[in-house]
A and B are shown apart, each in its own frame.
Chain A
Amino acid sequence: MKQQAAATGDYGIARLAGRDPARWIYPTPVGLYVEPAGLYIDPMRVAERAIVTHGHSDHARGGHRHVLATPETLAVMGVRKVKPKSGQALASGESVTVGGVRISLHPAGHVLGSAQVRLEWQGEVVVVSGDYKRAADPTCAPFELVPCHTFVTEATFGLPVYRHPPAEAEIGRLLASLTLFPERAHLVGAYSLGKAQRVIRLLRLAGHERPIWVHQALWEMCALYQSVGIDLGELRLLADARPAELAGEVLLAPPNASAEGWLAALPEPVRAVASGWVRVRKRATQQGAELALVISDHADWDELRQTIVETGCERLWVTHGEEAALIHFARQRGIEARALSLVGYSDGEDEKAEAGEGDA
């Protein structure tokens, strides 16, 4: 039925062309502020009240007093040691009303616990997507399409050159490399929240049953995923390994862990990197990796466009990333679009390296 609605552009919500939600929700130096509710979404500085869309460090900063988030995101924040003073869990689909604003969270398909925020005030609906993707991911709930008047989207891969191939095919390339180089350890650089667990789960689904060796920085997050029922198979701590044991095995570590001593002791590992950016040749060669796996936790160009159209939004706000192309696209479709120019969210490799984890 929803498919039908998407085709006709009828979402059962009244058109509100002309009313700009910037009256009640707008960017500030702290972050996107919802004035009637008195709270920020993913604030970049310490805030009294915040909604956190997901647990990546550039969205979930520490020190907030009250945080509204999915139970999984609150758990992730606990593992990441940025637990708020008080956390209120809101399950997907449930709603609370604060200062007349009806707030509900809906799966964003980005990482475990990631959510879009639906805000409804005086009949106007704004959806803040946070980071999201549409491609299937066995480690988190699939993206849910939420019709709205104003859609606030990310644009990390907001350029037509970024179209992610199926992640399963990329995992196939990793397995093919294991066959071709059975004497070499395969070290995959992947962020500790989301990317690492997705790579592991995809390996398991592809039939890879060997123990997978993970870096200390990934250990607790993997344990959290296991505890919510995502089967990652047998994991071992890299620090406990003897180099000889690692021949022909898959190793996972954060992308910035490569300079460490234990790694230098590995004889000729095949370095792999899992990131949407490596679709572009220049970015792939700059990584110094031997195997560039195009696996991303973000919507690619096609998914961004598809989502904007399917939400039926009249207005598009772009938070961070490659805004220009997406805004151009939206305007061609008659959607009023602008960049929010929110600072602080990472969209390049450099910022991410600094943040230690993040999104690609």
Chain B
Amino acid sequence: MIAFTRLLEALVLAPSAEARRRHLVAYFAATPDPDRGWALALLARRAPVKPPTAPLIRRLAARRLDPVLLALAHEHVGDLAEAVALGWERPQSAGDDTSSAPGLADCLSLLADAATGSEGQLSVLEALLDRLPAGARRVLLRLGAPPPVGVTPELLQEALALLAPLRSAADIRAIWSALEPPFVPFFAWLEGRGPSPAGNRPVGLIEPMRAAAPPAGEAWVVAGGYVAEWKLAGIRAQLRLAGEGGAPRLHLMSGEDVAPRFPELQALPLQGAESVVEGLLIVRTGGGGDLAAIQRRLARARPNAALLAEAPVSFVAFDLLWQGDDLRALPFAGRRQRLEAWGRALGEGPVEIAGQFTLPDAASVAALRRQARSAGHRGLMLKHPTAGYGSAGPDGGPGWVDWPHDPLTTRLALLYLQRDPANGALELTFAGRDRDGTLVPVCRVAAPPEKPVRQALEAWARAHTVEKFGPVRSLGPGLGGTLAFQSAEPAPRRRCGFTLSEPVLLSLDWDFLPQAADSLVQIGALTD
């Protein structure tokens, strides 16, 4: 617990991904199993533990702390869990000796074994708080809370790859979702002491193929002999259908298995051989997909009947990676043939096979791009018929090219800044003008990751706060930004009337007049 506390404190303050990686590597190298595995589970949000609720913490405090002192401490610190953790009165006998403090795995197993009901939890927490120094007490009362900013599954995978040069981050990602905390066989495999915890079958996410960026101009398309697919407004995923029964798995690119969220896909007729199909999860609206609706579906672990009726999901398959055997080395044209056969066998249902277009001349390329935008797709995916799955891209040989629409840009005024008190993440809400010139929120984006920029933003926000609503600051005029986005999707329940897809903050304008913000009508018109 002491080592994990140090790691978390270092990660919170670390200014760069490089610093975070180094702290992680040092921790994983120095910490024995199963503590390091539980730490990994907590950082990857895979540990089955939830932080104590505020009422539980209040009852915990009432067992030990003077109410007047707690109120003063809470006011000073601003966070109840931290005030209780730091202000905890340990028994006189507890010294500063940290060598007898319980480990992370001990803490988690004591919490897991606690009698059900809050009394049992309270007694275990109380006993643990007595045995831990201040910083570790703070960690204990937040076990299961989101990890510090910048600690992503990708960063964890990179750090683990650095820990043991035997395995690459891609190797780790490939089996990521098949792993169970505390990952003891995983660390053994990582360090070359044991077999792959995944065995010899496709488990979890197969390392996804990356699409290259398009070269300049358009001549390369026809010359290259590419075929095209719509870049649908959906979420990329891999669907695995086990041959001998077993529930289908559905892996997002993060490695997460989201199959239980999509009962539509649970009912698929089972195929002969184990197969892995890649495609897009979409909710159809006319021709295109409704991104907001698919996000709604993803957010719901167990969708109710109303949501299933309102946002039925289709899986648009575009590649077949595994069918009894690894197909990735086959050229795309060959995989496509087998995919079509696979689709025919499946028949009508929630799984479709992606449409494909040939591009004989420049005019057809231009027409297809126009059509993509007007149909509400996000652009085109170009694929080379000879490319194996995983091949590089246009310059490094035949592959995939991700050809989005030329992005649209808009200038908006900064209206709110929100700081997540748990991990310090900053989110910016930008607004456009309605008919009366009032600023109306349009989209929320993450603040730029660079620390100086974030600090400048926070300093500016402190000086220009009009009102505070909890962690949200409403800001006065003066700061705006230019944002790029792919399209404006209609969203009747939002005040501005649309949702910007894939908004990206291009630049901040520190000398911005609110009158300079684009009007909602202008923005809405950009995609029509």
Q: A residues bordering B, Cβ < 8 Å?
A: 159-163, 165-166, 169, 173, 180-181, 279-282, 284-285, 288-292, 322, 324-325, 328-329, 332
Contacts and interface: CB of A to CB of B under 8 A. Distances in A.
Contacts of A181: 19, 22
B63 interface: no
Contact of A159 (B23, B87, B135): B87
Contact of B13 (A163, A165, A289, A325): A289
Interface in B1-31: 6, 9-10, 12-15, 19, 22-23, 26
A280 B83 CA distance: 9
Contact of A161 (B22, B68, B77): B77
Interface in B173-194: none
A325 B72 contact: yes
A161 B73 contact: yes
Contacts of B138: 281
B463 to A, nearest CB: 15
24 contacts: A159-B72, A159-B76, A159-B87, A160-B73, A160-B86, A160-B89, A161-B82, A161-B86, A162-B86, A163-B134, A165-B133, A173-B6, A180-B22, A280-B76, A281-B12, A284-B13, A288-B451, A291-B10, A292-B9, A324-B72, A325-B69, A325-B72, A328-B66, A328-B69
A325 B73 contact: yes
Kindly list the 10 A-B residue pairs having the minimum CB-CB distance in the complex, ordered from nearest.
Answer: A160-B87, A161-B86, A325-B72, A161-B87, A161-B73, A290-B13, A328-B68, A160-B69, A325-B69, A159-B73
Nearest to B90: A163
A172 to B, nearest CB: 10
B455 interface: yes
Contacts of B451: 288
Contact of B69 (A284, A288, A329): A329
B424 interface: yes
Contact of A165 (B77, B83, B96, B455): B96
Interface string B439-457: 0000000000001000100
B86 A285 contact: no
Contacts of B12: 281, 284-285
Q: Give the most central of A291, A324, A325: most B CB within 10 Å.
A: A325
B79 interface: yes
Given A159-B72, A180-B23, A325-B69, 7 more contacts: A159-B76, A161-B77, A279-B86, A281-B138, A288-B451, A289-B13, A290-B15
A160 B69 CA distance: 7
B437 interface: no
Contacts of B22: 180-181
Interface residues of B, number: 36
Interface string B144-160: 00000000000000000
A159 B84 CA distance: 12
A280 B138 CA distance: 10
Contacts of B89: 160
Contacts of B134: 163, 165, 279
A190 B73 CA distance: 26
B351 to A, nearest CB: 48
Given A161-B86, A285-B13, A280 B19 contact: no
A280 B339 CA distance: 57
Contact of A291 (B13, B69, B83): B13
B347 interface: no
A198 B19 CA distance: 28
A163 B87 CA distance: 8
A280 B77 contact: yes
Contacts of B10: 291
Given A166-B96, A325-B72, A290 B86 contact: no
A166 B86 CA distance: 15
A173 B23 CA distance: 12
Contacts of A160: 65, 69-70, 73, 86-87, 89
Given A161-B87, A163-B134, A180-B26, A282 B13 contact: no
Contacts of A161: 73, 76-77, 82-83, 86-87
Nearest to A281: B82
B131 to A, nearest CB: 15
Contacts of B69: 159-160, 325, 328-329
A6 to B, nearest CB: 15
A282 B69 CA distance: 19
Contacts of B96: 165-166
B360 interface: no
A131 to B, nearest CB: 20
B78 interface: yes
Contacts of B77: 161, 280, 282
Nearest to B89: A160
Contacts of A289: 13
Q: Give the most central of A159, A169, A289: most B CB within 10 Å.
A: A159
Contacts of B76: 159, 161, 280, 322
A332 B70 CA distance: 15
Interface in B48-96: 65-66, 68-70, 72-73, 76-79, 82-83, 86-87, 89, 96
A272 B340 CA distance: 61
Contacts of B98: 169
Contacts of A280: 76-77, 82, 86
A204 to B, nearest CB: 22
Nearest to B98: A169
A159 B455 CA distance: 28
Q: Give the most central of B65, B77, B89: most A CB within 10 Å.
A: B77
B262 to A, nearest CB: 39
Contacts of A290: 13-15, 19
Contacts of B15: 290
A160 B26 CA distance: 33
Contacts of B424: 285
Contacts of B19: 181, 290
Contacts of B9: 284, 292
Nearest to B16: A268
B85 to A, nearest CB: 9
A126 B380 CA distance: 84
Q: Give the most central of B6, B13, B65, B82: most A CB within 10 Å.
A: B13
A276 to B, nearest CB: 12
B330 to A, nearest CB: 46
B418 to A, nearest CB: 16
Nearest to B83: A161
A289 B9 CA distance: 12
Nearest to B424: A285
A180 B14 CA distance: 13
Nearest to A292: B13
A281 B86 CA distance: 10
Q: Give the most central of B19, B66, B69, B451: most A CB within 10 Å.
A: B69
Nearest to B133: A165
B416 to A, nearest CB: 20
A95 to B, nearest CB: 36
A143 to B, nearest CB: 18
